[in-house]
Structure 1
Amino acid sequence: MLRKVSETIRDNRLFCQGETVVVSVSGGADSVVLLDILSSLTKLRLNLVVAHLNHGLRGKESDDDAAFVEELAARYRLPCKVQRVDVKEISKRRKLSLEEAGRNARYQWFDEVAGSCSAHAIALGHHADDQAETFLLRLFRGSGTTGLASMRLRTSARYVRPLLLLTRDEILSYLERRGLSYRHDSSNDETVFLRNRIRHECLPYLRTFNPAISERLNNTAEALAADDEVLENLVEGLFPRLSRTDSEGFVLNVTAVRSELPGLRYRLYRRALQLLRRDLARIATIHLKQIDRLVHSARTQGEQSIPGGFSVLRCYDELHFLATDKKPGREAWEIRIEGPGSHLLPDGREISICLTAPPENWESLPSSRAYFDPAAFPFPWTLRTIRPGDRFRPFGMSGTRKVKDFFIDGKIPLSVRYRTPLLFAAEELIWVCGLRVSESGRVPPGTRQVAEVAIT
Structure 2
Amino acid sequence: MAPFTAEANVLGVVRNTVREYGLLQSGDTVLVAVSGGMDSVVLLDVLSRLTEFNLRLIVAHLNHCLRGEDSAGDERFVADLAAVYGVPVVSEAIDVRELCRRERLSLEDGARKARYAFYGRAASRYGASVVALGHHADDQAETVLMRLLRGSGTAGLAAMNPRRGESYIRPLLQLRRAEIAAYFSATGLRCRTDASNADVTFLRNRIRHEVIPYLSHLNPSVVGRLTTTARLLAADEEILCAVTEDAFQRLSKRDDLNRLVLDLGGLRREKVGLRYRVYRRAISLLKGDLTRVAACHIQQIDQLALAGKPNALFFLPGRLAVVREYDRLTFSVDVPDLHFPGELVVAGPGDFSLPGGGVLRVASVAPSVALAGDGGRQRAIVDLAAAPFPWCVRGVRPGDRFRPSGMSGSKKVKDYFIDEKVPVALRSAIPLIFSEGKLILICGYRLSNDALVGVHTHAAVAVEVCGQPAKSP
> TM-score if structure 1 supplies the norm length?
0.85
Counterpart selection for 2:393 from 377, 380, 383: 383
1:19 partnered with 2:28: yes
Instruction: Give me the whole-angstrom Cα distance separating, in 1, the residues matched to 2:205 and 2:14.
Output: 26
How do 1:325-344 and structure 2 match up within 5 A? 327=336, 329-335=338-344, 340=348, 344=353
Instruction: Give me the whole-angstrom Cα distance separating, in 2, the residues matched to 1:348 and 1:118.
Output: 39
Q: CA deviation at 1:382?
A: 4.1
Instruction: Give me the whole-angstrom Cα distance separating, in 2, the residues matched to 1:308 and 1:170.
Output: 39
Instruction: Give me the whole-angstrom Cα distance separating, in 1, the residues matched to 2:249 and 2:149.
Output: 33
Q: Which residue identity lines up with residue 288 of structure 2 in the other structure? A: R
Q: CA deviation at 1:352?
A: 4.5
Counterpart selection for 1:311 from 321, 324, 333: 321
1:32 partnered with 2:41: yes
How do 1:183-332 and structure 2 match up within 5 A? 183-246=192-255, 248-324=258-334, 327=336, 329-332=338-341
Q: CA deviation at 1:28?
A: 0.8
Instruction: Give me the whole-angstrom Cα distance separating, in 2, the residues matched to 1:138 and 1:22.
Output: 28
How do 1:42-441 and structure 2 match up within 5 A? 42-246=51-255, 248-324=258-334, 327=336, 329-335=338-344, 340=348, 344-346=353-355, 347-350=357-360, 352=362, 364=373, 366=375, 367=377, 368-371=380-383, 382-395=392-405, 397=407, 399-424=409-434, 429-438=439-448, 441=450
In 1, are the aligned partners of 2:130 and 2:168 still within 8 Å (CA)? Answer: yes
Q: Deviations over 1:138-191 (max 9, x none)?
A: 223322211111111111113111221222223223333333332111122223
Please give the root-mean-square deviation of Cα atoms over the aligned residues, in Å: 3.3
Q: Which residue identity lines up with residue 278 of structure 1 in the other structure? A: G
Instruction: Give me the whole-angstrom Cα distance separating, in 2, the residues matched to 1:379 and 1:444.
Output: 16
Alpha-carbon distance change, 25 to 400 in structure 1, aligned in 2, over 3 angstroms: same
In 1, are the aligned partners of 2:383 and 2:453 still within 8 Å (CA)? Answer: no
Q: What secondary structure is seen at the aligned counterpart in 2 of 1:386? A: coil
Structure 1 alignment gaps of length 5 or more: none
In 1, are the aligned partners of 2:297 and 2:316 still within 8 Å (CA)? Answer: yes
Q: What secondary structure is seen at the aligned counterpart in 2 of 1:279? A: coil
Q: Deviations over 1:318-374 (max 9, x none)?
A: 33333326x26135433456x5565543133326498x9977965836242333656
Structure 2 alignment gaps of length 5 or more: 1-8, 466-473
Q: CA deviation at 1:274?
A: 2.8
User: Percent identity at matched positions?
Assistant: 45
Alpha-carbon distance change, 424 to 236 in structure 1, aligned in 2, over 3 angstroms: closer
Instruction: Give me the whole-angstrom Cα distance separating, in 2, the residues matched to 1:438 and 1:170.
Output: 78
Alpha-carbon distance change, 362 to 211 in structure 1, aligned in 2, over 3 angstroms: same
In 2, are the aligned partners of 1:371 and 1:453 still within 8 Å (CA)? Answer: no
Aligned pair count reads 450
Instruction: Give me the whole-angstrom Cα distance separating, in 2, the residues matched to 1:71 and 1:390.
Output: 74
Q: Which residue identity lines up with residue 171 of structure 1 in the other structure? A: I
191-200 or 313-322, which deviates more: 313-322
- 2:468 is matched with which residue? none
Q: CA deviation at 1:408?
A: 1.2
Instruction: Give me the whole-angstrom Cα distance separating, in 1, the residues matched to 2:398 and 2:119.
Output: 55
In 2, are the aligned partners of 1:139 and 1:148 still within 8 Å (CA)? Answer: yes
Q: Which residue identity lines up with residue 358 of structure 2 in the other structure? A: G
Q: CA deviation at 1:217?
A: 1.8
Q: Which residue identity lines up with residue 46 of structure 1 in the other structure? A: L
Q: What secondary structure is seen at the aligned counterpart in 1 of 2:393? A: strand
In 1, are the aligned partners of 2:63 and 2:92 still within 8 Å (CA)? Answer: yes
Alpha-carbon distance change, 357 to 19 in structure 1, aligned in 2, over 3 angstroms: closer
In 2, are the aligned partners of 1:328 and 1:418 still within 8 Å (CA)? Answer: no
Alpha-carbon distance change, 115 to 386 in structure 1, aligned in 2, over 3 angstroms: closer
Q: Which residue identity lines up with residue 409 of structure 1 in the other structure? A: D
Q: Which residue identity lines up with residue 59 of structure 2 in the other structure? A: V
